[in-house]
Amino acid sequence: MKVLTANRLSDGIAVWYADGGWAETVGHADIAHDKAAEDRLEAIGAAAYANNEVVDVNLIDVEVVDGLAEPVRLREKIRAAGPTIRTDLGKQAAPEAIQAA
Amino acid sequence: MYRYDEFDQDFVHARVAEFSDQVQRRLAGEITEDQFRPLRLMNGVYLQLHAYMLRIAVPYGTLNSRQLRMLGHIARKYDKGYGHFTTRQNIQFNWPALSDIPAILADLASVEMHAIQTSGNCIRNVTADHFAGAAADEVADPRPYAEILRQWSSVHPEFSFLPRKFKIAVTGAERDRAAIQTHDIGLHLKKNAAGELGFAVYVGGGQGRTPMVAKKIRDFLPEADLLSYCTAILRVYNLYGRRDNKYKARIKILVHETGVEEITRQIESEWQELKDAELKLPEADIQAINAYFAPPALTDRPEGDALVKQARLDSKSFSEWLDQNVVTHRHPDYAAVTVSLKGIGEVPGDATDSQMEAVADIAEKYAFDELRVSHEQNLILPHVARADLKTVYDALVEIGLATANSNLISDIISCPGLDYCALATARSIPIAQEISQRFASLERQREIGELKLKISGCINACGHHHVGHIGILGVEKKGSELYQVTLGGSADENTSVGEIIGRGFSSEEITDAIEQIVDTYLGLRLSPDERFIDAYRRVGPAPFKEALYAGETKAA
């Protein structure tokens, strides 16, 4: 299972593709379950990159935990949450993330 | 300290205007990321895990209070209230929006600062001994030469697209506090038998995935020949350095593959063409730059002796801080102070906006408005009257920056690691924090004595692990963080690269392993005066391997 991630051009904030747009949290990102869906996400990413919305576009592995997408690799977990040594910063500190938790 | 002349100021303003325009065009979609990336990197803007990162140059680590206050202002207004001082004497902000960077650069320019050449395959910020101009043991202040190199290397057309990045460090003392032998060029300012100033020149040092100690290629280069000789080195490198493989592109690889004798011959041959031409430094120019670095007028303050003596009796913690964080100054009534950014359990090198402002206030009142950033990620007040030390200490206590751990095991160099860095493979800061907490007792740290512990979160070695007495390298193995330990590294005048001691440790095991290494050292040292590095050089890795892995060997 994969989701599409990138950093927003204007402020560099990590974002994930969800519901036709770019969300600031990973939980509800569109999940690709097969190669065709991965190709579709990749094409969306390439278009958004070409359209100067986002940079550093990547497909990353996720698993679903309690109905929410969660990155598999530690690097992507940290990107999705924020620095592990500053839990007051990054997504983990945002009200939305707190509510989701 | 150096003040911008009209040319410098115009140049920096012009660059701010140029890059602001490039940012606007990028945000408007007029230029692509592929076009923009090299432009943003030339201006210190990286993209990291969570956001952009802006690296600001602090030339040879020297700042005044106005500049440090501006860094505090930027931290508060554009970032998240803190900054990270780096091993190249610079500062990084972890969260700036690209759209704010033009405003940040304009604010920096207003205090004679910028982010030019803090990235890219060019000559980076020239670093220097953080006690330069104050150290009792220095022959001369190395910073005027660092400034001459800065002027020469800034947007140098021939050296803006080198095979790879290029780092120069300068020291003015026999005791090397600038780690010059780990640099592409290391310069040791010294005097010859006739009392003339010049440099021992080292080439080809570096860390990263292929650590190398620099080779001395000249024992004495007259100061007037500084630029012509560096040009000769850069020319040989620019011509023959590998461009086919990023990992083999640093000059250390060229020196290694060519051989010291042959590369020295090539450099000397190139230099013969250059040495008597326009790059020869006129004495008047050297003096003009020297004048900017004239030491402050240090009036005699002999009352300091009695005041310090009394304050020592009154306060044990002050006395410990004096022993650990205060070093001898060339003027007997003064001292150089290390402001530790390594509070127990804190993030090495981080300072908050209000801490930056408070340290700036202290520098303005008690340190002739001068500050330094050390490559060990601390701040330095280079000129403090001994009579004012207790007042400075009390002010540092107020802001939580009076930890008395300079050169002790908790004075850890750490890169940002996987908590921030896009290249990292493992976290380094939490490991530094856990080790710092494990050894929190100052009494225990002082019993252990000088111990340089350095942590990198990937093979690029920004945390200098190769030259730590104890080095820790974090890697990713089978999806988990794994920490390799090296022992016996050193970044002083006897630079050495540490040796990998054995299999790595998980994040849960690594602090215990470090404690075991330290306990082994305490058990085998000949006396409390035998430092960890000296003991390691005497006994080698065997006792440490035995302590760490003996059980496994027997089981096997």
Which of the four pLDDT bands, split at 50, 70 and 90, describes residue A99? Answer: very low
- Closest residue in B to A84 (Cα–Cα): B419
Chains A and B: how many Cβ contacts under 8 Å? 75
Residue to substitute from A5, A75, A92, interface B, most B β-carbons within 10 A? A75
Between CA B153 and CA B123 the distance in angstroms is 6
Last residue of a domain, one of B259, B292, B325: B292
- Closest residue in A to B52 (Cα–Cα): A12
Q: Provide the pLDDT for residue A95.
A: 60
A97 has a pLDDT exceeding 60:
no
Residue B124 placed within a domain: no
Between CA B288 and CA B44 the distance in angstroms is 30
Quick one: which of B155, B72, B89, B147 has its CA closest to B116?
B155
Residue B129 placed within a domain: no
If asked whether residues B149 and B213 sit together in one domain, one would say yes
B551 has a pLDDT exceeding 90:
no
Across the interface, do B29 and A52 touch by the CB < 8 Å criterion? yes
If asked whether residues B147 and B280 sit together in one domain, one would say yes
Residue B127 placed within a domain: no
Q: How far is CA A36 from the centre of its chain?
A: 19
Residue ranges making up the domain that contains B470: 413-555
Last residue of a domain, one of B231, B262, B292: B292
Between CA B18 and CA B9 the distance in angstroms is 14
Domains in chain B, number: 4
Domain borders along chain A are 2-94
Residue B126 placed within a domain: no
Q: Provide the pLDDT for residue B182.
A: 98
If asked whether residues B26 and B151 sit together in one domain, one would say no
Residue B358 placed within a domain: yes
Largest CA distance in chain B: 71
Per-residue pLDDT of B361-417, as tens digits, reads 999 999 999 999 999 999 999 999 999 999 999 999 999 999 999 999 999 999 999
Residue to substitute from B419, B433, B437, B475, interface A, most A β-carbons within 10 A? B419
| Window A:34-63, CB contacts with B under 8 Å | 49, 51-52, 55-56
What average pLDDT does chain B have? Answer: 97
Across the interface, do B50 and A10 touch by the CB < 8 Å criterion? no
Contacts of A79 in chain B (CB under 8 A): 49-50
Residue B177 placed within a domain: yes
Residue B1 placed within a domain: no
Residue B268 placed within a domain: yes
Contact B170, B145 (CB under 8 A): yes
Mean pLDDT across B254-263: 98
If asked whether residues B390 and B438 sit together in one domain, one would say no
If asked whether residues B321 and B282 sit together in one domain, one would say no
Which of the four pLDDT bands, split at 50, 70 and 90, describes residue B553? Answer: low
If asked whether residues B388 and B433 sit together in one domain, one would say no
pTM greater than 0.90 (yes/no): yes
**Six token digits for residue B11:** 């140049």
Per-residue pLDDT of B16-31, as tens digits, reads 999 999 999 999 999 9
CATH number at residue B439: 3.30.413.10
What ranges make up the beta strands (E) of B43-104?
45-47, 52-56, 62-64, 82-85, 91-93
